[in-house]
Amino acid sequence: MSQINPGIFNNYTVTPRNLTQYKAYRGVTDFSQIGQFDQYEKGYQFLFVLGIPEYLRKIGDQNGTIKDLNASFKHMLEFEFRGLEGLPDLQSDTFEITDGINTQRMINKVTRETSVTISSQYFERRGALIQKYSEYYLTGLKDPMTEAKTYHGLIANGLLEPGLENEVWTMLYMATDNTMLRLERAVLLANCQLTKAESSLYNGSRDSITNQEVSIEWNCFPIFGYQVDKAAQYLLQHEITGVSVKPNEKVVEYSIDNSVKNPTVLDSADYLYGIMDSNTISGFTNPGDYDDQNAKSILSNAINAQGTR
């Protein structure tokens, strides 16, 4: 017996509440039943970096500075993430049926842009991590004076063959509800490439002393779907928060995963600030964490961890 495909209405994202028990705006609005106005609140999101360009990882294997910068840039992308802009809407095109006088439009195509540019805002640091790292990445792809692909010496020395697969990031974006524990929607951002390095941040005037906010822009291929939501819920619970909940249960059933590194602290009363912790040290204890697993295996593990639908 065949099964229908529930698609985006699945066991991994929050399902809209049943509203048939409420009268809402018909007649007197019954604000005493406030549950009918269960609002979606924007502003709760995470970014998880699944993989960095192979050519940068290869350079990092030979150069400790680049290895640390790889880890720092990934860390900044995830832990200083405030949100993004540029995700595509689903849209429809129509054809016309007409008798010469009257016209009816009917949908003949449903589309979503697949080549998009997304952007996120970050604050630049002393030493210009964002600008210099972006410039190093881009000039390795194509030298701005010769337009030769060099990978900063890897190609000429026979250490890595040129290929698009060596030049992209893979990231998973997830929007959650206001508990930050339940997934609303996820997008797999494939084939991400930085689009620019803002050298203009060095423009300045002596009568204007300020910090510098920069926009990090990526060209990417966005992927939506059941399997993406499935992977995102697993990563949210087992890599970000360390708390597992059932997204559509009225009574929260949860478990704590104590193996999660640097879990998101949701209750500030429980947070141990660095000044209170004698064991805290500055810098990365393990700069190579970005290369624990490649993107494909992380995604596969996340999808398979919960079985089939």
Measured in whole angstroms, the distance separating CA 261 from the mean position of its chain's CA atoms is 18
Domain that includes residue 239, residue range: 46-84+106-304
Confidence (pLDDT) at 287:
46
**Could you tell me if 193 and 220 are in contact, meaning their C-beta atoms sit under 8 angstroms apart?**
yes
Asked whether residue 3 is domain-assigned, the answer is: no
Is 101 inside any structural domain?
Answer: no
In a domain, 156, yes or no: yes
pLDDT at 284: 40
| Across 104-111, average pLDDT | 94
- Looking at the domain assignment, is residue 180 inside a domain? yes
What percent of the chain shows pLDDT beyond 70? Answer: 88
pTM for the model stands at 0.86
- Is residue 27 in some structural domain? no
What stretches of the chain adopt beta strand conformation (E)?
45-51, 90-98, 103-112, 116-123, 169-176, 183-194, 213-223, 243-245, 254-256
Q: Is residue 177 part of a domain?
A: yes
Residue 128's pLDDT band, with cuts at 50, 70 and 90, is very high
Question: What pLDDT is attached to residue 98?
Answer: 95
Residue 39: inside a domain, yes or no?
Answer: no
Looking at 12-16, 223-227, 288-292, which range is the least confident one?
288-292
The number of domains in the chain is: 1
In a domain, 21, yes or no: no
- Both tokens of 7, joined, read 């698609």
